[in-house]
A and B are shown apart, each in its own frame.
Chain A
Amino acid sequence: MGITVVEVTKKFGDFVALDDVTVAIPEGSLTALLGPSGSGKSTLLRVIAGLEDPDRGQVLLGADDVTSRPARARGVGMVFQHYAAFKHMTVWENVAFGLKVRKRPKAEIGRRVHELLELVQLEGLAKRYPAQLSGGQRQRMALARALAVDPEVLLLDEPFGAVDARVRKELRAWLRRLHDEVHVTTIIVTHDQEEAMEVAGQIVVINQGRVEQVGTPRELYDSPANEFVMSFVGPVNRIGDTFVRPRDISLGLEPDGDSTEAMVERIVHLGFEVRAELVRDDGQHLLAQLTQEEAQALELERGLIVYLKPSRETVFTP
């Protein structure tokens, strides 16, 4: 089911969390709400879930205006940042909760819970309590619990924020596969641009309660709408009014036309990728991204004088 948010404003006292936000989430998509902390992305998710009432505006699920409908009647599944596991219930009971509340027949509950635990790979841990699970397992349990009631919409609030980096990577890939399998319209809130790009088909960039840009990861990276999006979705060099991605800086050992001279200040090896921190005569610092072969070909090392030329620049006209 598609989600439409129309001109939603939400204030907490004097703080404007959402400022006239309008967004359309296509049915069956996996959309990321991306923004820095305090940007209003979580508030938007909670407005969609029905956990916050907007001061103005509407929320539509499919064609239904659900703005005044309580969360329990919206048919959304939500996964919270800190799992929100029911601590006094086993994994099985956690997942069964939504079905029990709906008074489904016992046999059906048993079958569905079993199915979901298999889906999230927790079959063997049904009798454990949340406290006996790892962070990643708890998050998968929370996901199974949200999916148990066959939600029209799945909402994930920074779902991988509380697990360590390696598990986070696994969970992302797993969520991607899960979405391919289940096809439920999914929104994931994150402040991590890499996570958004890796997982989502569509990204909504939010800043200071406003939508800055909506697009595919590629569109955001290649043609950002403004300075904020440009600098938020990836590393960027700012030279005067011009923005250059570190990847779009080409380096050479000889001057070439309008290239400028710079000295290598520091080199960071990240496996395949090499990052070179450069400083120009005029004191301007720049970051360049190269492949390992490129770096080897240049025999890049600290103190080396190189000539740089941006292969692609972006200028935003206000």
Chain B
Amino acid sequence: MTAMPERASRFPRISAMPQRGRISWFEIVLLTSCAVWVGFGLAPALQDVAVLSFLFAGLGLAWNIAGGCAGLISFGHAAFFGIGAYTSTILFQSYGITPWLGIFAGAATAAVAGAVLALICARLKGPFFILSSLAFAEVVRIIALNWPSVTGGAEGLSIPPVPDLANMVLGSKPAYEALTLIYLILAYAVMRWLEASRFGFYLFAVRDNDDAAAAAGINPLMIRSSAMALSAALTGVGGTLFAQYFLYLDPTYVISPELSFQFALLPAVGGLGTAIGPILGSFLITPLSELLRANLGNAAAGLHLVIYSAGLIVVMLYFPAGIAGALEKLKSRKPQP
């Protein structure tokens, strides 16, 4: 019972190839309308939802760098999110360093953690990498829970809600909308840069065939760790923004497997390895989740995850390339001029 035939190569891949230089009008219109939405302060009732949609779109893009482009499917990104959030918050509370600087420290710490994860899992692929990332995040969570002198343990940390621009406590929803939209656009720009750059091509090459990539003179280990570090750094930035928005952190939410799952879900539904996929995924799923939470509250704890996961299964079985892939297919069906 130990024969090892591979069933892999028979199937087409579902992660997209780099879309070099193909920023479509659709994407420009989408991002511009987001900016207009924020600029004119539209729909004040939905500002919470907008902040979270932008934030999670950025986080989905960050995950996509590792998961979609480098093939490092991680279910432990909440660890980087938590590391980023805790680093900036602890620096602020214990040493009075403004989160505007702390955000870089958080990103750097998360990047180191990401590189470490990629290095210790250097030999692993597929299911084993996924489980290792999950175990890694659990280890980080349990350490954060049992180290109250630094992280506040299960009680968590809170940031005084005194609006002060110098300390990144903005006090108004539209300001947070603007901040998270900037984060989203930054993550989008990084992704677009990857698609056009040499480093990005290395990533896609390593994802699709690392033996061939190594034969062509690329060091797969280096590329994987750098991709993971970049992805973790961006996730850490998201963590700091999250902490500054909610002004409260505790390990059971910030480093939970559910959160890791959500980061992976958005690109998987939107389209793995695409720049627009995570944004579409987040704009579709985050408002839905917030709506459910607002209307059902704690009466149905877990219901939003039930709906997400059922949605994920359906999308995977019927549109494995995600929304972006389905749109692409629709477009290519149209008669050519």
Q: Do A and B come from one complex?
A: no
